[in-house]
Structure 1
Amino acid sequence: MNRPALHQPFGDAASFRGPAPVAAVLFDRDGTLVEDVPYNGDPELVRPMPGAREALELLRARGVATGVVSNQSGIGRGLLTHADVRRVNDRADALLGGLGTWLYCPHLPDAGCACRKPRPGLVVEAARRLRVTPGDCVVIGDIAADVRAAHAAGARGVLVPNAATLPEEVRRAPETARDLLTAVRRLLAQAPGTGGGGRS
């Protein structure tokens, strides 16, 4: 069985579903935390999305663990190496102030792996590494695959649409927010018992 490729640089919604403890927030990378540059292997092209740094600072201040779960099929396509992805992740991590874990799937869409979103593997593994349960996680992303991966893992999924998000994905998403900072602020406001487990 294919396992998620892991990267840990520093070692080992219209509305949410009501108040609940949130132990970790897991983000999609491209188009959610940083601008989407297709198959990017150049750290100099990394640009945080508006509000991303502030959203992460709010989570860190509340003791909520953070992580990234990202499909990187450019590796499987021969367009990127693992080292390329790690360099880009390192740059994003530095610009965003540091997240608890970075995981990515390097496989092609038809590889049948357990990790490629919308499958749950990355979410489950990120929760394990942050020492939380998937049910106490929220996954924030910009396409339906992010939300579906969250639900498949037993986590909550929130869609933050951008220009690449299909209208049908927005209509079908059970939880949406107009931007990343709004999503995080609403999450923290509606889940007063946050924190516990993991390293943000």
Structure 2
Amino acid sequence: MITTTVAVSQTMNFAAGISAGTGVMTFTWHFGNGDTGIGQNNVPYAYALAGVYPITLTVVGQPCPTTREVQTNTLVTVLGTSSPPLPPGTSLSVYLPLVVKAGVQSTRVAYDPSIPKPGQVTGLSGWIQDNQTILEWTPRLPEEAVVEYWIYRSPRTGPVSFDLSGSVPANANRFTDSTAACGYMYYVTALNAGGESLPSVASYISQPCD
């Protein structure tokens, strides 16, 4: 079991990969204190109180014909204010088995911190057609003023590393990856003038290539 030590109020980024399964999958993080987070990559969380917290990641896939569910666990120790402080500016990522950091950043948009970021993209689905991977999702609410959707992908084997694969304008909710028909994991984010949303509630995992 993996263990990680952090300070109170220190933000961690949770990320996950998989070694088996295909289709649309939802990644739910249970932080051991009643709080939860949803997403496959860069899911932020900070603990308010010192303690030792068991973290469970639950991955649920589409029914086929029954719902698939897999769980894995880790521990986080949160130091109290009397404990030795961590170095200033320390940034932590918490990994479960097959979990690695994915830190894609873009500077194409100048964000206004006074504007709320969009919510997480929902309704993600995917399929293979004509040797291409096609993704669709539910558009965000009009009042969020989304300007673009970004699509990230990572190989499903070897080191997991999400890269920005493409983007579509706000009036589109479909993306075609013409370069791959197998072997990748995908998620989608939404952008507005306030910044980029967290990763989509679900991810799409295409079939292995072998």
Structure with greater Cα Rg: 2
Where relative contact order (Cα < 8 A, 6+ residues apart) is larger, the structure is 1
Give the TM-score, by structure 1 length. Answer: 0.25
Between structures 1 and 2, the one with greater strand share: 2
Give the TM-score, by structure 2 length. Answer: 0.24
Between structures 1 and 2, the one with greater helix share: 1
